Amino acid sequence: MKKQKVKVLGISGSTKSTSSSLSILEFIKEKYHDNIELCIYDKISDLPHFNPELEEQLPSSVFELRELIKKSEGIIFCTPEYVFSLPGCLKNVIEWNVSTTLFSSKPVAMIVAASSGEKAFESLDLVLTTVETILPENSKLLIQGVKGKINKNGKLTDNEIVLKLDKVITSLINTIDDENRNPTKYK
């Protein structure tokens, strides 16, 4: 792993302050603090609904989000699944940045933590590929049955998932370090 910390933005796809997604991001921040400086975006509820007509008078919350994305070397998306899809608030974060090149060639990792999560996993993979992020296979993780893998204090307790997270974080750091990286393409 890289000796100098990489700057990573963590985005939870949940607005709930005690969500599994936020717990996982906080676990990552604590466990990997020697390798990554993780800034967890906590203003997802402040973003207005995406409206391209506001591009000329960008809401301050959108401007702040874009600045965080710009300053980060990589992004970790961690989200639940709502009604077999991505939560609207996470889609909103992405949509506010589609007209920019902020996601283009940005190394990302994606974690879907849900009861099932398969459809949200497929959807997020497609969306992140569409906006031309760099998303290697080893930077993707589906955590099914997440409620049984996090204790009442919000701590991740499943050792198998922790080992998989190690691989995801290592993959993200290696991708950030790779000067010859290219955006992920459709399969």
Helix (H) or strand (E) segment spanning residue 37? strand 36-41
15-70 confidence digits (pLDDT tens): 999 999 999 999 999 999 999 999 999 999 999 999 999 999 999 999 999 999 99
Domains of the chain: 6-177 (3.40.50.360)
**Residues forming beta bridges with residue 41, ordered by sequence position:** 11
- Over residues 128-153, the pLDDT tens digits come to 999 999 999 999 999 999 999 999 88
Residue identified by tokens 């949509």 is 95
pLDDT on residue 1: 46
The mean pLDDT of 100-124, rounded to a whole number, is: 97
pTM of the model: 0.95
Type of residue at 81: E
